[in-house]
Amino acid sequence: MLAGVFKAVIDRSSIDPKLVEDISVGTVLAPGGGATEFRAAALVAGFSESTAVKGLNRQCSSGLQAVVDIANAIKSGMIEVGIGAGVESMTSQYGPGAVTEFSELLESHPESANCKVPMGVLSEQMAKDRKITRAVQDAFAASSYQKAVKAQKAGLFNEEIVPLEVKWTDPKTNEEKTVTVKADDGIRDGITAESLGKIRPAFAKDGSIHAGNASQISDGAAAVLLMKRSTAERLGQKIIGKYVAASVVGVKPLLMGIGPWKAIPVALEKAGITKEDVDIYEINEAFASQCVWCINELGLPLEKINPKGGAIAFGHPLGCTGSRQVSTLLTELKRTNKKIGVTSMCVGTGMGMAAVWVAE
Homologous superfamily of 110-211+243-354: Thiolase/Chalcone synthase (3.40.47.10)
Contact 208, 289 (CB under 8 A): yes
**Residues 255-261, mean pLDDT to the nearest whole number:** 98
- Predicted TM-score (pTM) of the model is 0.95
The string of pLDDT tens digits covering residues 245-254 is 999 999 999 9
Please, where in the chain does CATH 3.40.47.10 lie? Answer: 2-92+218-235, 110-211+243-354
**What pLDDT shows up at residue 96?**
66
Contacts of residue 13, defined as CB under 8 A and 6 or more positions apart, other chains included, come to 225, 237, 238
Strand partners, 177: 168
Contacts of residue 270, defined as CB under 8 A and 6 or more positions apart, other chains included, come to 245, 246, 247, 356
The string of pLDDT tens digits covering residues 159-205 is 999 999 998 888 899 999 999 999 999 999 999 999 999 999 999 99
Q: What is the rounded distance in angstroms from the CA atom of residue 303 to the CA atom of residue 342? A: 14
Distances (CA, A) of 216 to 90, 219, 285, 332: 10, 10, 10, 22
Q: What is the rounded distance in angstroms from the CA atom of residue 294 to the CA atom of residue 307? A: 16
Mean pLDDT of the chain: 96
Residue 69 CB coordination number (10 Å): 19
**What pLDDT shows up at residue 98?**
66
Distances (CA, A) of 15 to 20, 242, 243, 292, 333: 8, 18, 19, 40, 24
Q: What is the rounded distance in angstroms from the CA atom of residue 35 to the CA atom of residue 29? A: 12
**What pLDDT shows up at residue 102?**
85
Q: What is the rounded distance in angstroms from the CA atom of residue 299 to the CA atom of residue 360? A: 27
Class of domain 2-92+218-235: alpha beta
**What pLDDT shows up at residue 171?**
86
Q: How many helices (H) and strands (E) does the chain have?
A: 14, 10
What is the 8-class DSSP label of residue 50? T
347 pLDDT above the threshold of 90: yes
**What pLDDT shows up at residue 35?**
77
Catalytic residue numbers, as ranges: 60, 316, 346
